[in-house]
Structures are given as C-alpha cells and as structure tokens.
C-alpha cells in the first residue's frame, strides 16, 4: 500500500479535527504530499471522518490521476494539489469548516493581526474570492490569496491551511480559528486594536521555530 504512514496520519487527523470541533461529518479534507515520487494522498469524497480507513485514502499523481485507491478522491483535490505545485514549504494541507473562520469567510472579512498568534499563518489571513467548491477556479483563488501565508479563508465556505506536515497544518487551523473567535467576539463589543506591522514582522521571526512541532508518535 503506497504512502501507508501518510494514510494513517490522514485518518488520525481527520478524527482529530472532528473531536476538536473544527469540522463535522464530511466537512473538509486532508492531504499529504510525497515530493520525491510526486504522489498526493487525500481523503475520499463523502465518507465520514470517523469511518475512513487507511485503505480508503486515494493516491493521486501530479496530473490528478489515481495511482492507487478504489474510492473517489475529495472533490477539492485540485485545491490541495495546486498548493503542492506552487509551495515548496508545504507537504500537508487541511481544509475544514470551522465556525468562526467560516463566519468571517461569509462576511468576506479578512482576519487582521488583533492577536499575535495569527503569526502562525502570517501577518493576517486573507479571503479568497468565491468559487464553487471542487472547481479549478476555487483552487486558483485559494492559491492566490494564500500567497506568503499558511492559511486562507474561502469565501462563504471555510478555511484552508498548509504546512510541512499534518501536525503543523492542524496547529495553524487551530490557532487561526482561536484568533477568529477572539476577533468576532471583540467586534461584538468594540473595535479591536490591530497590532502594528513592525510587531508582526518581529513575530514572524519569533515564530520561525514556534510552529516546528513534532508528533510524539514520530519520535
């Protein structure tokens, strides 16, 4: 079975994003990229995260053709694959339907630096122009809006994040959702103060190693 360890990690983090309340049911998708072989392992379409097994994960090549797997790959496979084609720093991508990030995505509001933890994703989080799910247009819009960032809001849809592995991609999703919740609640009672650009530049340097987490199970 190709990319066996990656398959297990995808199953693990699919359950984890559900247990953490970061998505529900089949809302979202996860992938891991094997840069050496040019293979992407991605969740199947329409199967509950709690029911997905390693053998359900689909392996695609850089042209989007199935290399191994009997399931239909996630409808968002192009959005994942485009990240791997354009971002050397990403070998894992998570798309989720988190609550507060999606609230902002529906408002078409970007997330400014009102909390320093946004630095795990960048100086802010932009909103990608709307396009129908599973389309090349959405993949292109997400890629453009996530340039120089590790996360992006998909208008009227959800959040997309990428990192060197699933552990760190999960961390980006988790922290951005936390910052989005703080921002939404702060806006309900006043005008949040945005941290200055020089402070966020300082945070960018400080966070170069902050997010370099390693799963205990990998040690």
Question: What's residue 179's pLDDT?
Answer: 98
Residue 28 in tokens? 């979202």
From the list 19, 36, 76, 199, the catalytic residue is 76
Q: Is residue 218 part of a domain?
A: no
Q: Is residue 216 part of a domain?
A: no
Question: What's residue 44's pLDDT?
Answer: 98
Q: State which residues form the domain around 135.
A: 4-211
Question: What's residue 25's pLDDT?
Answer: 83
CATH number of the domain enclosing 28: 3.40.225.10
DSSP the chain: -TTHHHHHHHHHHHHHHHHTTS--TT-EEEEEEETTTTEEEEPBTT--TTT--GGG-EEE-TTS-EEE-SSPBPTTHHHHHHHHHH-TT-SEEEEE--HHHHHHHHHT--B-SSSGGGGGT-S-B-EEPP--TTSHHHHHHHHHHTTTSSEEEETTTEEEEEESSHHHHHHHHHHHHHHHHHHHHHHTTS-PPPPPHHHHHHHHHHTTTTT----GGG-
Q: Is residue 219 part of a domain?
A: no
Question: What's residue 42's pLDDT?
Answer: 98
Q: Is residue 168 part of a domain?
A: yes
Question: What's residue 155's pLDDT?
Answer: 98
Mean pLDDT, consecutive 10-residue stretches, the chain (219 aa), reads: 98 97 93 98 97 98 97 98 97 98 98 97 97 98 98 98 97 98 98 96 85 52
Q: Is residue 172 part of a domain?
A: yes
Whether 88 is a known active-site residue: answer no
Q: Is residue 217 part of a domain?
A: no
Question: What's residue 209's pLDDT?
Answer: 72
Question: What's residue 216's pLDDT?
Answer: 46
Structural domains in the chain (count): 1
Q: Is residue 131 part of a domain?
A: yes
């Amino acid at each position: 079975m190709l990319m066996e360890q990656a398959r297990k990690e995808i199953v693990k983090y699919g359950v984890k994003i559900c247990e953490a309340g970061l998505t529900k049911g089949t809302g979202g998708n996860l992938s891991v990229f094997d840069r050496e072989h040019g293979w992407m392992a991605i969740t199947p379409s329409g199967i509950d995260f709690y029911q997905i097994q390693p053998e359900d994960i689909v392996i695609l090549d850089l042209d989007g053709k199935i290399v191994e797997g009997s399931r239909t790959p996630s409808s968002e496979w192009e959005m994942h694959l485009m990240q791997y084609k354009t971002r050397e720093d990403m070998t894992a991508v998570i798309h989720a339907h988190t609550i507060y990030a999606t609230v902002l995505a529906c408002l078409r509001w970007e997330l400014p630096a009102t909390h320093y933890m946004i630095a795990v994703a960048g100086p802010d989080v932009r909103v990608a122009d709307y396009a129908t799910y599973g389309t090349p247009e959405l993949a292109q819009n997400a890629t453009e809006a996530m340039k120089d960032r590790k996360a992006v809001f998909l208008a009227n849809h959800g959040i997309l994040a990428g990192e060197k592995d699933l552990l760190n991609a999960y961390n980006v999703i988790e922290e951005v959702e936390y910052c989005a919740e703080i921002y939404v609640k702060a806006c309900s009672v006043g005008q949040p103060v945005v941290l200055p650009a020089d402070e966020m530049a300082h945070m960018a340097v400080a966070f170069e190693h902050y997010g370099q987490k390693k799963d205990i199970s990998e040690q």
